[in-house]
């Protein structure tokens, strides 16, 4: 038997400890949504977070937990959303921006991360040139520590506007031919805001070699695989180990002329036709964003319980109808019971 913490209790306490029966069928079984003395970072063996994980979290934290506890259902949903979210539109855009893109075979985790850093090293001078003369489209890896947690992300597009502003733009596809509801757009705004925090701190020289190696758990002396070595040589890079590449990247970032991002944009396209629905500019409110970030990270550090969808809020409740865990969701079931009890009390 395991224990589970769920919201609400008849005694009016903030959380109720439940006993669960693991012998129930997979769909209906209850699972521990949180474990005392073990943070989600520890429980799910996370050394760093992807920015997109924060966006998922802003949708529903219980869903994030289920994603780890029921990975087969998460994989099924990811396959479905890869089709629905217009992966082909992203790919077409990428090929349009980088017609000479090549595939490089990677053999180790160090190879895979090195490839991202090589892309970054290549893009810095291109972006510097773009700042002066033209609009350029690039996918740009961003990484660094925010509030004690290491983050990784990949920016869809960075370019210089005609007026010389450095613009970060994220492409989103929609099944409906309309701009998203605020509840849907919340994660998108969070995503571009966190990208800006990471990018700005990178170009301001905040990235540290030891942090990068420590949080990503990478071996600095690991030599690249032969394919990656040839690719790096063709680009004129002398590095043959991950540590050497990190050193090179830090020098590039230290001496680059890139400025912080001026403008954050979201571009919405219709997923089946690819037609532009509209653009939205996101206001960057750093103090508010950092406060939100601290609250999201409090969940990962185990400083508070995960929060699910507020099923009484009409602006939020619809999320559960789209959720693959709806049938088995302990949070939702518990909240529904509470609402029913409250409703029957009022009726008396
Ligand atoms: Fe979150 Fe609702 Fe899904 Fe439960 S059913 S995980 S509350 S979205």
Q: Give CA–CA dist 136/47, Å, rounded.
A: 33
3-state secondary structure of 14: coil
Q: How far, in Å, is the centroid of ligand 1 from the Cα of 60?
A: 6
Instruction: Give pLDDT, residue 86.
Output: 54
For residue 82, the model assigns a pLDDT of 57
Ligand 1 contacts CB of residue 74 (under 6 A): no
As beta bridge partners, residue 168 has: 158, 264
331 lines ligand 1 (CB under 6 A): yes
Angstrom CA distances, 134 to 137, 160, 163, 256, stand at 10, 7, 10, 18
Q: Which of 34, 308, 324 has most ligand 1 atoms within 8 Å of its beta carbon, as the pocket-test mutant?
A: 308
Tokens of 179: 């701009």
Compute CA distances 50 → 191, 241, 318, whole Å: 10, 24, 26
Token digits for 134? 């033209």
Atom of ligand 1 nearest to the CA of 308: 7
pLDDT per residue rounded down to tens, the chain (348 residues)? 333 333 333 333 333 333 333 333 344 455 678 887 889 999 999 999 999 999 999 999 999 999 999 888 887 777 776 555 555 666 666 656 565 667 888 889 999 999 989 988 988 888 887 654 333 445 688 999 999 999 999 998 888 888 888 999 999 988 888 999 888 899 999 999 999 999 999 999 888 999 889 988 899 999 999 999 999 999 999 999 999 999 999 999 999 888 899 999 999 999 888 899 999 999 999 999 999 999 999 999 999 999 999 999 888 899 999 899 999 999 999 999 988 888 888 777
Ligand 1 centroid to Cα of residue 329, in Å, is 6
Give the atom of ligand 1 at the shortest distance from the alpha carbon of 62: 6
Mutation to probe ligand 1, out of 57, 319, 328 (largest number of atoms < 8 A from CB): 319
Cβ of 59 below 6 Å from ligand 1? no
| Any ligand 1 atom below 6 A from CB of 319 | yes
Rounded CA-CA distance 83/271 in Å is 9
- Whether ligand 1 lies within 6 angstroms of the CB of 309 is answered as yes
Whether residue 70 has its Cβ less than 6 Å from ligand 1: no
Q: What are the tens digits of pLDDT across the range 244-281?
A: 999 999 999 999 888 899 999 999 999 888 899 999 99
Q: What is the pLDDT of residue 156?
A: 87
Distances (CA, A) of 336 to 171, 218, 278: 36, 45, 37
The rounded distance, in Å, linking the Cα atoms of 48 and 214 is 10
- ipTM value: 0.99
Q: Rounded to whole angstroms, how far apart are CA atoms 14 and 11? A: 9
In short, whether 42's Cβ falls inside 6 Å of ligand 1 is no
Instruction: State the DSSP H helix or E strand holding residue 212, giving kind and residue range, or none if neither.
Output: helix 209-216
Task: Identify the CA nearest to 123 among candidates 135, 137, 105, 104.
Answer: 137
Give the per-residue pLDDT at 14.
37
Atom nearest to 323 CA in ligand 1: 3
**Ligand 1 pocket, residue 323 CB under 6 Å:** yes
């Amino acid at each position: 038997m395991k224990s589970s913490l769920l919201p609400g209790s008849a005694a009016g306490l903030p959380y109720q400890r439940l006993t669960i029966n693991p012998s129930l069928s997979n769909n209906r079984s209850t699972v521990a949504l949180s474990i005392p003395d073990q943070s989600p970072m520890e429980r799910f063996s996370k050394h760093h977070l992807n920015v997109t994980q924060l966006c998922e979290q802003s949708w529903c934290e219980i869903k994030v937990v289920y994603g780890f506890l029921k990975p087969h259902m998460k994989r099924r949903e990811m396959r479905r959303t890869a089709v629905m979210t217009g992966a082909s539109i992203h790919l077409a855009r990428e090929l349009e921006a980088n017609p000479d893109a090549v595939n490089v075979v990677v053999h180790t985790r160090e190879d895979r991360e090195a490839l991202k850093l090589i892309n970054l090293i290549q893009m810095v001078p291109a972006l510097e040139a773009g700042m002066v003369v033209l609009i350029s489209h690039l996918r740009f890896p961003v990484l660094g520590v925010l509030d004690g947690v290491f983050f990784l992300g990949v920016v869809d597009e960075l370019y210089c506007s005609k007026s010389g502003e450095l613009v970060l733009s994220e492409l989103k596809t929609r099944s409906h031919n309309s701009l998203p509801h605020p509840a849907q757009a919340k994660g998108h705004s969070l995503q571009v805001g966190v990208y800006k925090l990471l990018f700005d701190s990178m170009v301001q020289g905040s990235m540290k070699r030891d942090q990068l190696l420590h949080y990503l758990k990478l071996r600095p002396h690991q030599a690249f695989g032969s394919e990656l070595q040839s690719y790096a040589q063709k680009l004129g890079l002398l590095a043959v180990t991950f540590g050497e590449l990190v050193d090179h990247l830090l020098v590039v970032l230290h001496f680059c002329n890139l400025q912080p991002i001026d403008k954050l944009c979201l571009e919405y396209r219709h997923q089946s036709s690819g037609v532009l629905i509209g653009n939205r500019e996101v206001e960057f409110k750093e103090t508010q964003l950092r406060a939100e970030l601290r609250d999201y990270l409090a969940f990962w550090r185990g400083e508070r319980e995960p929060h699910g969808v507020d099923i009484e809020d009409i602006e939020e409740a619809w999320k559960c109808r789209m959720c693959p865990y709806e049938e088995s969701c302990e949070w939702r079931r518990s909240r529904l019971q509470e609402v029913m009890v409250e409703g029957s009390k009022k009726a008396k």
